[in-house]
């Protein structure tokens, strides 16, 4: 068993170059994939956390008017 491990390590130590070409398309695709995964994780966390944060922001406004946050009328923007 020990001889097999020594032969295996020697085989790994003496490998030559692969002579493989990695073009710019593969590099750009890898970068785009990594950025896409990071962005999707960030957006998923943001989507999960946004609703509770939005409710916390609206609660003080509802308490000032004496109504619960769920019964608040939507604010009309742009109308005086």
The answer to pTM > 0.75 is no
First to last CA, the chain: 86
The DSSP-derived string for 9-67 is HHHHHT---------HHHHHHHHHHHHHHHHHHHHHHHHHHHHHHHHHHHHHHHHHHTS
Q: How far apart are CA 45 and CA 17, in angstroms?
A: 43
pLDDT in tens, the chain (80 residues): 889 999 988 888 887 777 778 788 988 999 999 999 999 999 999 989 888 888 888 876 656 666 555 665 555 555 54
The gap from C-alpha 32 to its chain's centroid, in whole angstroms, comes to 13
């Amino acid at each position: 068993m020990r001889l097999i491990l020594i032969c295996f390590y020697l085989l790994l130590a003496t490998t030559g170059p692969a002579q493989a070409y990695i073009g710019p398309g593969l590099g750009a695709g890898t970068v785009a994939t990594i950025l896409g995964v990071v962005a999707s994780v960030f957006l998923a966390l943001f989507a999960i956390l946004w609703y509770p944060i939005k409710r916390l922001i609206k609660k003080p406004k509802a308490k000032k008017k004496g109504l619960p946050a769920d019964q608040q009328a939507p604010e009309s923007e742009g109308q005086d």
